[in-house]
Amino acid sequence: MCSIAGFAADFRDEKLIEEMNNTLSHRGDDDSGIYISEDKSKGFVHLSHNRLSILDISKDASQPFVSKCKNYVIVYNGEIYNFKEIRRELVKRGYKFVSNGDTEVLLYAYKEWGREALDRFIGMFAFCIFDRVKNILFLARDRAGVKPLYFFYDRGEFVFASEIKGILKYKNFKKAINRDVVPFYLRFGYIPSPFSIFEKLYKLPPSSFMIYNLEQKSYEISKYWDIFAFYKAKKFKEDEEKILKNLENLLIESIEYRMVSDVGVGVFLSGGYDSSTVAAILQSNRRERINTFSIGFQEKEYDESFFAREIARYLKTDHHEHVISKKELIDIALSLPFVYDEPFSDDSTIPTIALSKFTKKSVKVALSGDGGDEMFCGYSKYKALLAFSSVFSSNLKKEGLSFLSDKVSISFIKRVNSFLPERFRNRNIEDKFIKFKRALNSKNLTQMFINASSNADDSEIKKILNFEYDKDLVLEKSAFSRAKEIEDLDFLDFMMAIDYVTYLTDNSLVKVDRASMSVSLEAREPLIDHRLAEFMARVPVGLKYKNGEKKYLLKKIVYKYIPKEMLNRAKSGFTPPLLGWLRDDLNFLIDIYLSDTLLKDISIFNIEEVKKLKKALKNRERVNINLLWSVVVFAMWYDRWIRK
């Protein structure tokens, strides 16, 4: 796991590429290096790399890595888990290796098969290869988008890096905010591929490769894999028992592949189905105790470390547990603008960073359960939206349900929720009820799904922004625009497929990558192995969600390892007490970053509307905490990267 950065230019600037590289040193603190081409007639290619040594920790695998023939140079971030199999095939074809890791294998796989090498890789990656034979830069990103890759292009100047902060060091880059993406950010909490917060700076989309022609100074982007193709494919005809057996074998292989390492590996354990599945399968195949790690909150109603502790005790893992202190909470909150160098307001960033810091004290690599909801049908919204999708077949049904929801108060819903048995109780019922009402006020199923995934509706966003905007401009150019390609799918498959190419890629994986890499910890996500994704896309809907049971297949498997009663409880995700924090320990962020002075300088938000949110928070009235937090995070980012 590492960072990469580089640029192609008519000038040679060793100091500049070193500055770009040093800015990303948190992603790999074991080694670093730079490469600058020498052929002035073809322009200068600058490449840099910071290394977190995981596979072949010797100097033989240091980067930038230059092939023996000097015609190929690579900088690479990630892991190719099946590199040993690919290496054996390359050896048969006459290749000789000087290292024992995956970097050299990746480089020679490209030399042998070109773009088709990508089809062979099982792993997570973002890399750039300087191909001197074709005089091109070949860049690629893994299928799900685990590893990030940003690029800036303007009038023939081409720059790339693992994080935006690397590109900000480039001397000709101008920090012009892309206002078009701000409404989308306020709605969802993240900025979608291929956009970034800055004009002319983009994300290379997942499952894509880019060829930058050094002579013509132009680029072209192509897709090499598409999850939609598998959702559109014919469903499996095998019976449930056969599908379960195949799925379990895939799970075991995917998890075991992520144990390929020359350093210590642990597991993030929350006590939920996803991380418990990973830990259970790993521990069942080992005599030695695996290391598991969990985080807790001082606020007892939000603290679920007990569940992780119970699972760890049952599995007999070597469990490590940490409760976030007030000082740590404040320190991490203040670090958010640096860790996430564009506005990103997922409320679980703080505990994810805290967990990563705690885990890094013991190991260099940690497996997580991220992606399980998208893979196995785990989100509560799937169940709710399926239940109400039939209302769109009748205006009368839709109007009737909408009428009833308007008559039901949030306080009533919260009261009913409090009387439910604990395993059915929902901690964030208020937020879900608001999203449910928002979903009902939709024209069709696609819009219902998007509205149910939103943190704020159009009316709230229009009030909070002080400029006119096209609410659908970015939406129609993001992966959401592909919804029309799969509208004929079963609605459940439709929702899962869209979440895979939007929320998973641009929210969940961004959150974990930046949090873990901010402390030089490699996070691996076995549940989003592309073979698992392809398999689950072809599983009949009736087995993904059966008898009202989300994650039906995954549960059938994990209950072989862990008793059902230990896992069968209300799902809460990795939800922190954000509202309480902003009213108490983190209230100072409101005073500092939502001051009139800073808001005037930002000149994006309606100051009077922001004041209303602040007043509601202070008076303990109902407030859209997600919207308020998004504004706070934006202001913190602006203060760190634009104002200073």
Catalytic positions are 2
Q: How far is CA 220 from the centre of its chain?
A: 25
Tell me the sheet residues that pair with 73: 66, 130
302 alpha-carbon distance from chain centroid: 23
Cα first-last separation, the chain:
30
Q: Cα–Cα distance between 108 and 112 in angstroms, integer?
A: 6
CA gap 140, 221 in Å, rounded = 9
SS3 breakdown of the chain: % helix, strand, coil, rounded to 5? 50, 15, 35
> How far is the C-alpha of 148 from the C-alpha of 139, rounded, in Å?
12
Query: Could you tell me which residues are beta bridge partners of residue 265?
Result: 365
C-alpha distances (whole Å) from 634 to each of 46, 344, 460, 592, 642 are 32, 8, 16, 13, 11
Residue 320 CA: distances (Å) to CA of 264, 330, 422, 463, 481: 14, 22, 26, 45, 43
Q: Which amino acid, residue 61?
A: A
Cross-strand bridge partners of residue 549: 546
* Cβ pair 204, 150 in contact under 8 A: yes
Half-sphere exposure of 575 (CA within 13 A, CB side): 17
Residue 112's Cα: distance from chain center in Å?
31
Residues 6+ apart with CB under 8 A from 171: 13, 16
Alpha-carbon span 334 to 328, nearest angstrom: 10
* Nearest Cα to Cα of residue 446 among 486, 501, 474, 391: 486
The pair of structure tokens assigned to 58 is 């010797």
Distance separating alpha carbons of residues 137 and 35, to the nearest angstrom: 14
Query: Tokens in use for 623?
Result: 């407030």
Question: Number of C-alpha atoms within 13 angstroms, CB side, residue 35?
Answer: 23
Q: Cα(542)–Cα(53) distance, rounded to whole angstroms?
A: 44
